Structure 1
Amino acid sequence: MSETMTDEKARAATWFRALRDEIVEAFEALELSHDSGPFATAAPGRFDVTETKRASDDGSDAGGGLMSVMRGGRVFEKVGVNVSTVHGTLGEAAQKAMAARGVPGIETDPRFWASGISLVAHMQNPHTPAVHMNTRMFWTPSAWWFGGGADLNPCIPYDDDTAHFHAALKKACDAHDPAYYDRFKAWADEYFFIPHRGRARGVGGIFYDDLNTGDWEADFGFTQDVGRAFLPAFLPVTERRRDLPWTEADKDRQLVHRGLYAEYNLVYDRGTKFGLATGHDADAVLMSLPPLAKWV
């Protein structure tokens, strides 16, 4: 494997884009299929697609991607599916953060390359859970790794929804290592926790980072299977909850829960911090924020 990993980078970036296309198509089809309930008479939602660019200090090409956002649909109140491939030199703060995580050589050679997909969906019906998913590859001259995961964020939890979501992710994990699910579920429970509220932001899922077993093909294959597991994990939950009747009290509960989600993403989320610190398009980085939220 070459030091630059040119072929591997291209394969990873192509995969993330293909997954993005598949999810966008599935979500627009879900909008078209929704023909009952309070939002059924609205026009089906469609994604607005915008090219994004990473800002470099010297004005040179630093990569970019696509920001795809749907607003005010029948099922989705706001959903973003972003994909990007960026490169350049890490700033001092990002270098220190990487060094603290044990990335070798990053303080003397801060070049990097990163590609990935990031998705966050906020729903119209309070009974339908919000959801997050991302997978990514990161490279420096002395290291590479994969990371990602998915977690479900209902404001009105249902045990069978939680069980279904976790079962789909466990199946993806078990295909690669029987220890992965328990390990990455525990990591998600720790990572998606809001310390100042003393609670999790949802019902969990899986989270992994710095995944480098020494076998790039195996780690890429696992990351692909995590991405493939997302639609089977999320779509059935959405389809069985999107028609349920809800009250203004339910909607109020949803808006308060979104406040928790916003707090987490702005204060703790590693991806948000990295995107803003490295000059990526701020609108794309912050697309995860809900359209409306409230605090009590």
Structure 2
Amino acid sequence: MDGIQDDFGARKQRAAAWFRTLRDRIVAAFEALEDAQTGGPFASLPAGRFEVTSTRRSQIEGADAGGGLMSVMRGGRVFEKVGVNISTVHGELGERAQKAMAARGVPGMAEDPRFWASGISLVAHMQNPHTPAVHMNTRMFWTPHASWFGGGADLNPCIEYPEDTSDFHAVLAAACDAHDPGYYDHYKAWADEYFFVPHRGRARGVGGIFFDDLNTGDWEADFAFTRAVGEAFLPSFVPITERRRDTPWTEADKDAQLIHRGLYAEYNLVYDRGTKFGLETGHDANAVLMSLPPMAKWV
């Protein structure tokens, strides 16, 4: 990661505005899916709508430390629980976070621990066990010494359909290939490693892409790629949801879904970088833990 001395104010504003725009598009698309769901066992429910609340990072000596919007839909026709959060936070990193940044190659954190971070984070848990859960996030991180982008998306079915996995990856691959022919293979392998659950000896789902510490020296190109990953989310996921949302399911299918959700919860609480960073830096705990499923089961 290259050191930076210039003023990133305008770039920060552009990134934060983009994450808000992406959030608005996804929220509208998910509510449209709810409106279009006229069959299945949940069709008699009111179409789901997002409940939006403001979040704040813990105040430090009375100073503004930033915050965001938590948008959560519960008990819909298609989505059992889905959260689409955005945040823009800033301040000084604590000692543990400084050490974590230093371990990742960020210089000078002990001397100047200021940071700024903005991003969008999404997790969807579905009513129908045949419709996969999904995660997506993109973010920008800045310190006085370095800045970078990160993010990705991964699919988490409890009942896997090879064509769903193939279609999801194909959309992500196209987004990557438009920017660098090496990105997809590299970031797919990183996702396979990152979303592995060591204590279970298995992957969390069927993968996707994951990238972090992206700073090629061309901020505009890195930002354009990060936007492309965000823009690929709806075309990668919505067609799968439309394909599976009316599939008949059994109690055994629902049981498999609840057990898989337990695996998802274990990963997010034990290994996920975003969960750890959010809690350690004082962001709203409800927003940080939005990713947890509404119900889960352990055998």
TM-score for the superposition, normalised by structure 1: 0.99
Cα distance in structure 2, aligned partners of 1:254 and 1:94: 34
2:151 to 135, 148, 152: 148
User: Identical aligned pairs, as a percentage?
Assistant: 78
1:59 to 59, 62, 75: 62
Cα distance in structure 1, aligned partners of 2:112 and 2:95: 11
2:221 paired residue number: 218
Q: Does residue 1:196 correspond to 2:199, yes or no?
A: yes
1:231 paired residue number: 234
Contact 2:90 2:117 in 1 (8 A): yes
Equivalent position SS for 2:269: helix
Contact 1:82 1:117 in 2 (8 A): yes
Contact 1:56 1:88 in 2 (8 A): no
Equivalent position SS for 1:265: helix
Deviations 1:176-215 (A, max 9, x none): 0000000000000000000000000000000000000000
Equivalent position SS for 2:108: coil
Contact 1:131 1:150 in 2 (8 A): yes
2:160 paired residue number: 157
Instruction: Give 1:106 deviation, angstroms.
Output: 1.4
Cα distance in structure 1, aligned partners of 2:250 and 2:110: 54
Q: Does residue 1:33 correspond to 2:13, yes or no?
A: no
1:259 paired residue number: 262
Equivalent position SS for 2:155: strand
- Of residues 106-115 and 227-236 in structure 1, the stretch that sits farther from structure 2 once superposed is 106-115
2:95 paired residue number: 92
Contact 1:173 1:180 in 2 (8 A): yes
Cα distance in structure 1, aligned partners of 2:116 and 2:160: 38
Cα distance in structure 2, aligned partners of 1:181 and 1:144: 22
Cα distance in structure 2, aligned partners of 1:238 and 1:294: 23
- Structure 2, unaligned runs of 5 or more: none
1:110 paired residue number: 113
Contact 1:138 1:144 in 2 (8 A): yes
- Partner AA of 1:223 in structure 2: T
Cα distance in structure 1, aligned partners of 2:34 and 2:161: 23
Cα distance in structure 1, aligned partners of 2:176 and 2:81: 29
Deviations 1:227-284 (A, max 9, x none): 0000000000000000000000000000000000000000000000000000000000
Contact 2:140 2:149 in 1 (8 A): yes
Deviations 1:135-180 (A, max 9, x none): 0000000100000000000000000000000000000000000000
Q: Does residue 1:121 correspond to 2:124, yes or no?
A: yes
- Partner AA of 2:60 in structure 1: D
Equivalent position SS for 1:295: coil
Instruction: Give 1:2 deviation, angstroms.
Output: 6.2
2:86 to 83, 90, 95: 83
Instruction: Name the Cα RMSD after superposition.
Output: 0.8
Instruction: Give 1:66 deviation, angstroms.
Output: 0.1
1:13 paired residue number: 16
- Partner AA of 2:9 in structure 1: T
Q: Does residue 1:23 correspond to 2:23, yes or no?
A: no
Cα distance in structure 2, aligned partners of 1:150 and 1:104: 28
Report how many aligned residue pairs link the two structures. Answer: 296
* Runs of 4+ more than 3 Å apart: none
Cα distance in structure 1, aligned partners of 2:200 and 2:62: 41
Cα distance in structure 1, aligned partners of 2:265 and 2:101: 25
Cα distance in structure 1, aligned partners of 2:6 and 2:98: 20
TM-score for the superposition, normalised by structure 2: 0.98
1:281 paired residue number: 284
Instruction: Give 1:4 deviation, angstroms.
Output: 2.8
Instruction: Give 1:104 deviation, angstroms.
Output: 1.4
Cα distance in structure 2, aligned partners of 1:45 and 1:276: 29
